[in-house]
Amino acid sequence: VARLSRASELPSRSFRSMGTVVSITLGADYAECMESVTEHIREIFDRLESEMSVYRADSEISRLSRMAGVAPVVVSKDTYKVLELAQYFGTLSAGAFDSTAGPLMRLWGFNGSSLPPVRPSQEAIHEVLKMVDGRRLVLRDGTAFLPVKGMTEDLGGIAKGYAVDRAYDYCLSVGIRSFLIDFSGNMRAAGRPASGETWQIGVRNPFDRARLIGKLILPSGGALATSGGYERFVDIGGVRFSHIIDPRTGCPVKGTASVTVLCADAATADALSTSCYVLGPSGARECLKKVASAELLIVPDQVSMEFFLTRGFNKLFAPAPELRNSVKLLSPN
Ligand code: AMP
Ligand code: MG
């Protein structure tokens, strides 16, 4: 997902957090707030990162993983909330979303582990799968516990969306009514960039990042998230593997190139885009029936370029002219 030039004359700032880029754009009326808003959001994101990062040995999430099979750990309100949401979306997606997929991530060479020289064997995958089951995470009275030694948490599929919602709440709380927050493809907008205009978001072509497959209008209050195999991947023996793992098979997902979800809040959009990436078009359609207001665009990973979108997404979306014939409606039944 990329922002379009329309907003380029508006005050905006970028900074890095959680290993990626955050961009904040404000309506023209709010130019003088730009510095203080940026600083506050940076503080919020840095705090959430220090609590939830798998890359920091001193984060709550790293402690939770280290204490697996040993004892519950006390976590912050935000971490608790994100763990609850992760478990909720695990159930909603029938296990496609699983924030305990960490051991699988490591098996396939992600999350700072070394790249396996060859594709992991079926036996190795089978062994690691015993430590993956988000339903077993115990959340009680502000504490979290993974019951089996070797289990780990990885909130990478939902934490950025949650962070965007916190930034969104902050902006509204200080009276800013027109803004767009973009945290590496997790977005939320309020108001309009200028009177009579809309926030327009470009959806990247997963096969050619420099190009767009179309443009979407992001309504006020709405959230958008994209999961793409092209964002992060490993190369094992000349084969590319995406950073999104199917917890049911233990293998990186094949068959999906990208998923974009539009809905009412950014944490839900983030969790659903990861879930639907795993589920593919037909599974995604089933999953979305359970979430009022969620709309989706999914691009299968296949030679002939075609993409599926729900009716509600289609209403706000204009495909690139050369791709008009590639659009297929994903009907709700
Ligand atoms: P996203 O870019 O939001 O789709 O999230 C991808 C990230 O979520 C990965 O880099 C992992 O940290 C984590 N992850 C990978 N597979 C899954 C999964 N099946 N369910 C939940 N999180 C996952
Ligand atoms: Mg996600």
Q: What is the pLDDT of residues 82-118, one digit of tens each?
A: 999 999 999 999 999 999 999 999 999 998 888 988 8
**Predicted structure pTM score:** 0.95
Q: Which of 162, 61, 48, 73 is nearest to 102 (CA)?
A: 61
Instruction: Answer whether 158's CB lies under 8 Å from 261's CB.
Output: no
241-278: pLDDT as tens digits: 999 999 999 999 999 999 999 999 999 999 999 999 99
Give pLDDT, residue 23: 97
Q: Which helix (DSSP H) or strand (DSSP E) does residue 12 occupy? A: strand 12-17
Beta bridge partners of 217: 200
Quote the tokens at residue 46.
Answer: 């840095």
Which of 274, 277, 287, 298 for mutating ligand 1's site (highest number of atoms within 8 Å of CB)? Answer: 274
Residue 281 near ligand 1, beta carbon < 6 Å: no
Q: How far is residue 162 CA from its own chain's centroid? A: 9
What is the full DSSP assignment across 177-215?
A: -SEEEEETTEEEEES-SSTT--EEEEEEETTEEEEEEEE
Q: Is 178 in the pocket of ligand 1 (CB under 6 A)?
A: no
Residue 233 pLDDT:
85
The H-assigned helical ranges of the chain are 34-52, 60-66, 77-92, 102-107, 122-129, 159-173, 266-288, 311-316
Mutation to probe ligand 1, out of 99, 111, 154 (largest number of atoms < 8 A from CB): 154
The torsion angles phi and psi of 200, rounded to 5 degrees, stand at: -110, 130
Residue nearest to atom 11 of ligand 1 (CA): 156
Quick one: which of 80, 131, 82 has its CA closest to 105?
131
Q: Is 244 in the pocket of ligand 1 (CB under 6 A)?
A: yes
Q: Is 182 in the pocket of ligand 1 (CB under 6 A)?
A: no
- pLDDT, tens digit, 9 for 90 and up, residues 49-65: 999 999 999 999 999 99
Is the CB–ligand 1 distance for residue 99 below 6 Å?
A: yes
Helix-strand-coil split of the chain, %, nearest 5: 35, 30, 35
Q: Is the pLDDT of residue 1 over 70?
A: no
Interhelix angle 266-288/77-92, nearest 10 degrees:
10
> Three-state DSSP class for 92?
helix
Task: Kindly state if the Cβ of 164 falls inside 6 Å of ligand 1.
Answer: no
Name every residue whose Cβ is closer than 8 Å to that of residue 170 and which is 6 or more positions away in sequence. 37, 40, 41, 44
Closest Cα to atom 6 of ligand 1: 157
